[in-house]
Chains A and B, each alone.
Chain A
Amino acid sequence: MSYQGKKNIPKITSDRLLVKGGRIVNDDQSFYADIYMEDGLIKQIGDNLIVPGGVKTIEANGKMVIPGGIDIHTHFQMPYRGTTTVDDFNQGSKAALAGGTTMIVDHVIPEPGCSLLEAFDRWREWADEKACCDYSLHVDITHWNDSVKQEVETLLKEKGVNSFQVYMAYKDFYQMSNSELYEIFTFLGEMGGIVQVHAENGEIIAEEQTRMLEMGITGPEGHVLSRPEELEAEAVFRAITIASQTNCPLYITRVMSKSAADIISQARKKGNVVFGEPITASLGTDGTHYWSKNWAKAASFVTSPPLSPDPTTPDYLNTLLASGDLNVAGSAHCTFSVAQKAIGKDDFTQIPEGVNGVEERMSLIWDKAVVTGKMDENMFVAVTSTNAAKILNLYPRKGRIAVGCDSDLVIWDSDAVRTVTAKTHNSAAEYNIFEGMELRGAPMVVICQGKIVLEDGNLHTVSGSGRFLPCSPFPDFAYKRVKARKQLAVIRAVPRGMYDGPVAEFTPMSRGATPASSARTSPTKQIPVRNLHHSGFSLASSQVMQHGPPADDNPIRPGGRRIVVPPGGRSNITSLS
C-alpha cells in the first residue's frame, strides 16, 4: 500500500481493478489482453487472469487501453505580477485527468535573484496540497552564478529534478547570454541533466517591440509581429549549436513554427541529441486570431513563442510529430483570465503570456494526426506519454502498460466526438482558444494511481492525492549517445618541436597603429576579461627574443605531452615543405 509522502490519504477500497476485453496499445505494439491492477500497480496482464473475487471489473469492449498521458509542460498556479494563473494545481490536474492525462510536469519559475531551492520547495508545497495526479517538476534557471550552480547540483542529486529550462528571450530579465548558456549546458551535460530552452532571440525581439510600439501598434497583433518565427528558428539553431559544442542533450520547449521544427529535424538528421516539443496550441490552431477585432479573443492567444500566422503550421507539426522528428507533445497550459490579460490592453508587451491546452492535448492529437492517417496509435502513445517518460527517466514506471508499472491508464474511445467549449471545460479560464472545435477521440475511462477518476463523463478526483515523482539524472534516452560521444571526443595536441625561428616584434597591447583615438568615439570601457587579441600577455624577457629552446617556464604544456624533435631535426622547423 503506497501512500507516499501524503500524510493522510484515506484508504479506498476500490483499488483492485480488472480491465477486461481491451486492446493494449503501447508505443511498440498493440495486443488484446486483460489488465489486473492492485495497490496502484499493474499486477497481471494476459487472458483469463486469475484474480481475487469481488474485484471491480471494467469492460473495455475492444476499445484501446493506453498508458495515461504525460503532459510534460504545464504552468499551474504560476505567480505573475502579484496574481496567479487561474488554474491551480487542483483545477489544472482535474482538467488534465478529464483529457486522459495522468501525470503533469510543471515548471518552477524562480524570480531572477531568488533561490531555486526555495522556489522548488514552494512549488512542491502547492502541488502536494492540491494536485490530483502524479507530478514532477522542471526548474527554470532564471539567472546564473556559482550559487545557482550549487543549487542546481542539489536539485539534480537530492531533489529529483533532472530538467532545467533556460531562456534565450526576455531581454534584461530571464535572458541568458551565449557565454552563460555555454556554461550552463556544459555543467548540465556533466551532471546528467536535460537542458530545456525557451528559444527566441530576445535582443531582436526587444528591438522589434520598440519599433512596433513606435509605429502605434499596441494590440495583440503586435505580439506576433514583434516575434516573427524566424527569431524562434534562429534561437533554436543557436541552442543546437551550443548543445552540440558542449555535448549536452537539448530539449526545445514550445515548438510553434514550421521553421523552428525544420531546424530541429535537420539537426536530428545530423546526429544532434535534440528533442522538440510542440504544444496543443501549435498543433491545433494558428496565429491568425491575433488580428481578431475582439481584443479579448486576440489576447487569449498570446503566448511565446507566438502561434504562427501561417495556417498550415498545425498540419506540418503533426506530420513531424508522426515521423518522429518532433518527440513530445506538451500543453504549456498557462491560463489567465480576461481581466488578467487586460493588464496589457494598451501595450501588447504587457499581456500575460499563456494559453490553455492540458485537457484538449490528447484528443487534439488523435483528431489531427491519428484520424487523418498521419500517425498510428502506437506513435500516438509515444508522443503523448512514453517519450516524455523516457526523457524524464521515469520509464517504464510511467508511459507503458506492463506488469510492475504504475496503473495510470486510459480507455480511449476513438469514436467519441466532443465539441470544445469554455462552457464545459474543466479549466477555470472563461475562454478556450479551441472554442467550437470538434474533436474525435476522447477518454472513456481514466485510471490514475489505480483508481477510477473518470467514468461515464464524471470526474472523481481527490485534491492532494498526486505524488511527486523524483526524476533521476542521466536518462538513457538522451545520455546513452552523449556518453559514448564523450569517450570519443578526446582532443589531443600535436606533438611538435618548439618553434625556434625568429619572432617579429609586436606591441602586446594591440592598439592598432596610431594610438591617437578620435575625440568623437566613445571612451570605451575595457572590461577586465581575458581578451583574445589584446591582453596583458607579455612576452618580455626570457621567452620571446631568445632563440633556441626557451620555454621551460611555459606553464601551459600538459604533463603527459612529450616534446619530440620533428623527423627532420630541429633546424628544419621553420622551413616549409
Chain B
Amino acid sequence: MSGIGYQGKKSIPHLTSDRLLIKGGRIVNDDQSFYADVYVEDGLIKQVGENLIVPGGVKVVEADGRMVIPGGIDVNTCLQKTHLGVTPVDDFYQGTRAAVAGGTTMIIDHVNPQPGDSLLEAFEKWQEAADRKSCCDYSLHMDIPQWHEGVKEELDLLVQEKGINSFLVYMAYKDLYQMSDSQLYEAFSYLKELGAVVMVHAENGDLIAQEQSKILDMGITGPEGHPLSRPEELEAEAVYRAITLGNRVNCPVYITKVMSKSAADTIAQARKKGSVVFGEPITASLATDGSHYWSKNWAKAAAYVTSPPLSPDPTTPDHLHSLLACGDLQVVGSAHCAYSTSQKAIGKDNFTLIPEGTNGVEERMAFVWDKAVAMGKMDENQFVAVTSTSAAKIFNLYPRKGRIAVGSDADIVVWDPDRTRTITAKLQQSAQEYNIFEGMECRGAPFLVVSQGKIAYEKGKLHVQQGTGRFIPRKPFPDYSYQRVKTRDNMMGRQGVSRGMYDGPVYDVPATPKYITPAPSAKTSPTTHQPPPIRNLHQSNFSLSGAQFDDNIPRRSGHRIVAPPGGRSNITNLG
C-alpha cells in the first residue's frame, strides 16, 4: 500500500475514502469520556454525536464500544540526527511508519545542527527531508548547538516566519554543545522574549567529562562506563540548575528525557513551588532500566546507550509512571533515535563514542497503557493527556491536535485495551535489528489509526504513504505556559528604594586595587587568573573622583530624591 506515493504536498489527489464515520465508540479526551460517533471529512472532524446525519456511501468503522482517542503526539524523535557522520537507520519514512503503527499520528522531531552550522539551513534540510518522507504530520524543535550573537537573528526568523516555538539547549557535551550558565541565562532571556518554550538537555557536562576520563583511565571502556560516568545525580543537578535559571528569567522550561527518579523528583518539587516547568519521560525510562548496560553481550549493552542514561535503579519506571499519573510529569516522548548495531560499534573500544539513542516511537503508547493504566495508576483521560493533549498544549497545537472535537484534525485512534502483544524486533516497523524492549509483553494496542482523516492502520496493516505528512507550524507564546509567565512579568516590577544621598565619609579606595605587595609568588603561573577586563565585583578601577561610573546611566524618571524624614545630617546615624 505504501508504495502508492503521491509525494509532493501540492498535488494530493482527493481520495474517496476521506469521509469516515466511526460508530459506537467511547470518545476519550483528557477531560471526559462519552459515547458518540465521529464523522470525519477532508481531514477534519465534522460532527461528534449520536445519530449523525452523514452522506451516503461513507465508509463506516465499527468501534464496538472501544475507546476513541486523539492520535498520539510524540514530542521527541531524532530521525535524522547524525553522529560522527552516521545517520540513524530510521529516517522520516521508517520512523513515522513505526509511529503510526503504535498509535502516534504526529511527531515533533529535533533539528540537530552542528556547532557552526546555520540553524536556518539545518531547518530547511530537515523540513525538506520530512516533507519528502514523513507519513504523518510533523513539527520540528530546533536544537541550539552553540550560543552567540549571530544565532539571535536566526531564532527571530525561525519563530516569526518558520513556525518553530521550541528550542533545545544543552547543559552536557562539554566543548561541543554545552552552554555555560551565563550563556544559558542569555539564551533563556532571549527565547522568553520570543515566546518560545526552552527545552533543556539536563546533565552536568563538566562533571561528566571528568568522570569519563576517570573511568576510561580505570580501563572501563564498555557500555557500563556510560551510566557510571553519568550518574543520575548529575542529571538531577542540571535539572535543578535549569529550573533555577528558568525562575530567574521567568520563562517556561521543558526538561527533555527525564530518566531518573531524582530528576523527576526535582521537577515535581519545583512545580509545587510554582515553577513553570514540564518534564518529559521517554518510552525507555518508562519501560526498562539501566541494568542492561552490564550485559555480557556488547551489542545488547550498547543498544541501551542514550543520554541521560537509563537509571540502573529498577524501581525507576514505576516511579516515573506514578509521577506521570499525578501530573508531576506531563508528556511522554520516545526520543526515538535508532542506530544499527554496526553504527553503535563505532564505540566498541570507547563507550564515549557509542552513538546515543534508543527506540521507542512505536511502543510509546502501549507501554504507558500497560504500565500505568492497566496497573490502575492512571485513568484513561490522563492517558490521553500525557500521550497527546499536554503535548499539543505545551507546543501550541491545541485544540487542532490532541482533542476529539468538531473542527480538530482527524487524527484519531481506536484503542484496544485488551490486545496483548509481545515486543520483538522481528515484528517491529523500525529498521533496527534489535529492540530494547525485546520480549516484553504489553497490553493495549491501536485497533485502528486515522491520520489526516484517512485510515493509516487497520487490522495490523499499515496503509501509509510516504510524503503525506504536513509540517505543522506552531505559534509562539503558547497559553499553557505563557499565561502564568506574562502575569508574573507584570507583577514583578522591581523598584529601587528612594532614599537620600549618602553624604557621610567615604573611604578612599586607592586606584590600584591590589593591596598586597605586588610580588606574586614565583610558584604561581603568571599567565592564568589575571582578571580579565570585565566588571569585577571586588577589585575595579572604580574611583570616586571625577566622573562617576553611573553618569551615563539615566536615572529612572520616577526616582524622586527626597531627604529622609530626619533630615540630611541624620543619614549616617543608625537608628
Contact = CB atoms under 8 A, between A and B. Distances in A.
Interface of A: 79-83, 111-115, 117-118, 143, 145, 147-148, 150-151, 170-173, 177-179, 182-183, 201, 203-204, 206-210, 212-219, 221-222, 225, 228, 230-231, 233-234, 237-238, 241-242, 244-245, 291-298, 300, 337-340, 342-343, 345-347, 349-350, 422, 430-431, 435, 491-499, 501-508, 510-514, 517-518, 520-524, 527, 529-534, 537, 539, 543, 551, 554, 556-559, 561, 566-567, 572-577
8 contacts: A111-B516, A145-B529, A172-B534, A492-B220, A493-B218, A498-B298, A512-B114, A532-B212
Contact of A222 (B175, B345, B496): B496
Contact of A245 (B173, B234, B516, B530): B234
A237 B237 contact: yes
B500 to A, nearest CB: 7
B84 A506 contact: yes
A216 B555 contact: yes
The main secondary structure of chain A at its interface with chain B is loop
| Candidate in A178, A431, A531 with the most chain B CB atoms within 10 angstroms | A178
Given A245-B234, A337-B507, A81 B206 contact: no
Contact of A221 (B224, B340, B496, B554): B496
B496 A339 contact: no
B222 A81 contact: no
Contacts of A210: 535
Given A532-B173, A567-B296, A214 B553 contact: yes
A171 B175 CA distance: 20
Interface residues of B, number: 142
B186 A207 contact: yes
Contact of B248 (A83, A231, A521): A231
Contacts of B529: 112-113, 143, 145
A490 to B, nearest CB: 10
Interface string B187-213: 000000000000000001011111111
B118 A207 contact: no
A557 B216 CA distance: 9
A145 B116 contact: no
A114 B176 contact: no
B507 A79 contact: no
B25 interface: no
B153 A342 contact: no
Contacts, number: 390
Interface stretch (B55-63, B370-378, B405-413, B517-525): B517-525
Contact of A521 (B150, B300, B528): B150
A554 B349 CA distance: 8
Contacts of A296: 502, 504, 571-574
Contacts of B181: 201, 203-204
A350 B150 CA distance: 33
A556 B497 contact: no
Given A79-B515, A114-B520, A566-B297, A203 B506 contact: no
A64 to B, nearest CB: 33
Contacts of B248: 204, 208, 228, 230-231
A241 B233 contact: yes
A541 to B, nearest CB: 14
B442 to A, nearest CB: 18
B342 A501 contact: yes
B114 A241 contact: no
Contacts of B298: 496-499, 573
Contacts of B500: 293, 295
Contacts of A551: 349
A219 B505 contact: no
Given A113-B520, A297-B575, A520-B150, A576 B115 contact: no
| Candidate in B219, B537, B542 with the most chain A CB atoms within 10 angstroms | B537
Contact of B531 (A79, A172, A221, A557): A172
B425 to A, nearest CB: 7
B342 A514 contact: no
A13 to B, nearest CB: 42
A577 B297 contact: yes
A245 B343 CA distance: 31
B118 A345 contact: no
B240 A347 contact: no
Contacts of B212: 532
Contact of A342 (B234, B497, B502): B502
Contacts of A218: 496, 550
B348 interface: yes
A510 B345 contact: no
Interface in B230-274: 231, 233-234, 236-237, 240-241, 244-245, 247-248
